[in-house]
Amino acid sequence: MTRRKLTILGLGAAAVLALAACAPGAPSGEGDTTQPPVESADPADFAGETLSYVYFTDGPDEQATRDLIAQFEAEYDVTVELEILPYADLVTSVQARLSGGNAPDVVRLTGLTDFRADLLDLAPYLGEDYVEEFLPGPVQAVTGDDGELLAVPSDLTLNGPFINVDLFNEAGVELPDPEDPWTWEEMTAAAQEVQAATGTPYAFAMDKSGHRVSTVLAQYGTQLVSDGEASLDVAAAEEALTPLIDMMAADTMPRDFWLGSGSRYAGANEIFLAQDVPVYLSGNWQVAQFAQAAEFEWAAAPNPCATECGGFPGGKFMAAFSASENPALAAAFIEFMNNTESQEAFVAASSFLPTRADLAEDGVTYPDRQADMDVFLADLVRTPDVTFAANADPAFSGSATALITAMDEVVAGQSDLPTALTGLQGEIEALVAELDS
């Protein structure tokens, strides 16, 4: 090897070693948290300023958001730069922007786990009592370890079933009573009766999602995680999942749909819209889509009860980053977007559920499908508080993925349910330990 090559190699190795000696990232800076509360801030103080808002859309909410932004811009004489990202890219894109020192001021998120250390404590801006305007369940998700207000819950979703009314009527099967929830046995029996009478390929379908399966676990009184601990009760989970596994074994619940999507999320809405199934477990965000796309009569049905009733919650949050150049304006924007009038307009246009206590109590007038949204609102009251904490837990997402893998093994015949659930319990414990370390 020539001296020249040796020199080049040496320089290359030195550069790599020098690089390896440097941590590839640096903690982000803290924002100014000494601002007065927003309610005492004068909108004129922000005149001429610009705010960036990174958003993802579920569809009908986009126009409602644009309308509210226009109102805010007019009232505060500011410019809001709305950037809409595909949901699949949201976390990585925002993380990349944070790493590059180009954090947006405000972001819409489905969970805080990936950003918790970077979020602005909104309490100094919005007041310590501000959270009391919201339902206690979603507030659990936005409260930091030291009581910080890391985000504002901007809308709620709730998992729950839909039924094909036409198929139920054709089969002569009684529709469920929204005021008196059916049981799991009653729901699956009705679904199978409709399937037998109408000849649909399947009786029951649900999205392939750990979040959706968590609905069933919650109804049988267990959670994947709770209060930062693994909390799966294997016996309760076995009781909860056995009907699903049995239906997939009999192919009355679509087995190929479940196995064919691998580790990816898969929505069964197309199966429901094709009228291949009379009962479909998903959530209230489908209401707006079904109102547009369904060519048959359908309805939201109450969640089935086992040891518990109600559904499993999800939702979105509006958060600001501590690296924001204008945290006071970001807080004012979040406050504006979530005041009673704004949130009512937003959730009504999007078929979402409110997070504000006053709206939950007084009800929301939806322009369409009011009866279906009322079914979800009624189920929200029945939903146990522990489900909100479970959904907000940092280990929930990873645990939900592990739950799907465990179910896959059982559905594919590679494991029995008790063995798979025992393995799942170990995986959740390892995951919680990893996130704690």
Q: 3-class DSSP state for residue 335?
A: helix
Query: Does residue 23 touch another protein according to CB under 8 A?
Result: yes
Position 96: which residue type? A
Structure tokens at 100: 């590059």
Determine phi and psi for 316, rounding to 5 degrees: -125, 160
Stretch that binds another protein, among 12-20, 234-242, 314-322, 332-340 (CB under 8 A): 12-20
The residues facing 320 across adjacent strands are 106
DSSP sequence for 63-121? HHHHHHHHHHHHHHT-EEEEEE--GGGHHHHHHHHHHTT---SEEEES-STTTGGGB--
State the sign of the Cα–Cα–Cα–Cα dihedral 308, 312, 318, 323. Answer: positive
Structure tokens at 437: 């370390």
DSSP single-letter state for residue 54: E
Stretch that binds another protein, among 53-61, 163-171, 373-381, 389-397 (CB under 8 A): 389-397
Asked if 288 and 61 count as a contact pair (C-beta separation under 8 A), the reply is no
Query: Does residue 102 touch another protein according to CB under 8 A?
Result: no
Q: Please report, in angstroms and rounded to a whole number, the separation of the first and last CA atoms in the chain.
A: 47
Query: Does residue 114 touch another protein according to CB under 8 A?
Result: yes
Query: Does residue 217 touch another protein according to CB under 8 A?
Result: no
Query: Does residue 96 touch another protein according to CB under 8 A?
Result: yes
Compare residues 204 and 346 and give the one whose CB is closer to another protein.
204
Structure tokens at 364: 């929301």
What is the Cα–Cα distance from 87 to 111, expressed in whole angstroms? Answer: 12
Asked if 38 and 75 count as a contact pair (C-beta separation under 8 A), the reply is no
DSSP single-letter state for residue 110: S
Among 4, 5, 25, 179, binds another protein (CB under 8 A): 25
Q: How many residues form the binding site for another protein (CB under 8 A)?
A: 46
Among 71, 261, 370, 422, binds another protein (CB under 8 A): 261
Asked if 385 and 136 count as a contact pair (C-beta separation under 8 A), the reply is yes
Compare residues 219 and 399 and give the one whose CB is closer to another protein.
399
Least separation in angstroms between residue 173's CB and another protein is: 24
Compare residues 14 and 235 and give the one whose CB is closer to another protein.
14
The residues near 8 (Cβ < 8 Å, ≥ 6 apart) are none
Stretch that binds another protein, among 24-32, 166-174, 177-185, 302-310 (CB under 8 A): 24-32
Among 37, 144, 178, 201, binds another protein (CB under 8 A): 201
Among 82, 91, 345, 357, binds another protein (CB under 8 A): 91
User: Which residues within the stretch 397-416 sit at the binding site for another protein (CB under 8 A)?
Assistant: 397-398, 401, 405, 408-409, 412, 414
Compare residues 117 and 235 and give the one whose CB is closer to another protein.
117
Interface with another protein by CB under 8 A: which residues?
15-16, 19-20, 22-28, 91-92, 95-96, 98-99, 111, 113-115, 117-118, 201, 255-256, 259-264, 266, 394-395, 397-398, 401, 405, 408-409, 412, 414, 431, 434-435
